[in-house]
Each structure stands twice: as C-alpha cells, then as structure tokens.
Amino acid sequence: MLGKKLDGRYHVLSKLGSGAMGDVYLVQHILLRRREALKILNKRLAATQQFVSRFRREARATNRLHHPNIVSLYDIGQLPDGHFYITTEYAEGENLGVLLQHTGALPPARVVAILVQLADAVGHAHERGVVHRDIKPDNMILIEHRGKPSTAGWTSWSTMPAWP
C-alpha cells in the first residue's frame, strides 16, 4: 500500500494502525498537499450492508462535530476495488495508550488536563446528538496546539437518539 495512489487523490505515506473495522494510513492529498488520516473499511465488513451503513453513519456523525479536540472529517468515498474509506484531519502526536504503556501513570495535573479536554469534546458531541462508542487511551492523540498540550480524538462516533 505504501507509495500507492488511491482514488486519484491520495498518496499513501505510511500505515498508522489497524482496528476492528479496518486500517488507517497517513496519506497526502495530492492536490491540496495536506496530510490526512485515511481509514479503509475492512473488505470483509464492506460486504455486509449493516457495516457499510455503520461506516456511513460514523462519517456523517463525525462531520457534525467541529471542536478543537475532535479530528475533522474531510472526505468519504469508495475505492475501485470496493473498499470504502474516510479521510480525517491528521493529528500528529503521541498516542495516549502507547504513552501509558511506556511511562505508566501520568502526573495528576496532566491527567486532569486531558480529562477536562475529553469531557469538553464529549459534551460538544452530545449536544449534537452524537456519542463516541469507543473512548479509550488508544483513541486519543496527545498533541501540542499553539504551544500548549492538547488532545485530539479519533473517529468511532455514531448518532444517538434524542434524550427523552
């Protein structure tokens, strides 16, 4: 996959990881020269209409969120080989799950700062009828924003019913 051109718009730079629904790659949008994260739905799952619908709902839900601690959705599409994909803002930083594995517990002040940002992002999503289905350290990237530590979340958002 490395070095390939996808959908005529993306040049694959590296693999960022894999999850239950598919693989994630660092790509460069060829025309915009912007680095993005491209998530490709597993072909086995793409054969199931239920998962394709879930993937599309995830994209629509993510698109409703505009918050400094939530990555922005850029694009959704289908590759010629049948794989569905979404592209999002690339949050360059340190994966919280990996950091915790290497360092163990973080200082309380840093934990509080991370949790405040997480709570603000989740609150923003809930105000828009969106819930994150998989909040965990592995889905959080610690970045520096304007010289200050910040967090950025990954996708796995879906719509939730309105509160009664």
Residue 161 neighbours by CB distance under 10 Å: 7
CB 110 within 8 A of CB 149: yes
Contacts of 2 (CB under 8 A, 6+ apart): 12, 13, 14, 15
- Dihedral (CA of 36, 111, 127, 130) sign: positive
CB 46 within 8 A of CB 40: no
Count of alpha carbons within 13 Å of 146, Cβ hemisphere only? Answer: 1
Catalytic residue among 7, 75, 120, 134: 134
Is 51 exposed, middle or buried, given 0-12, 13-18 or 19+ CB atoms closer than 10 A? middle
CB 65 within 8 A of CB 131: no
| Residue 81 appears among annotated catalytic residues | no
Which residues are part of the catalytic machinery?
134
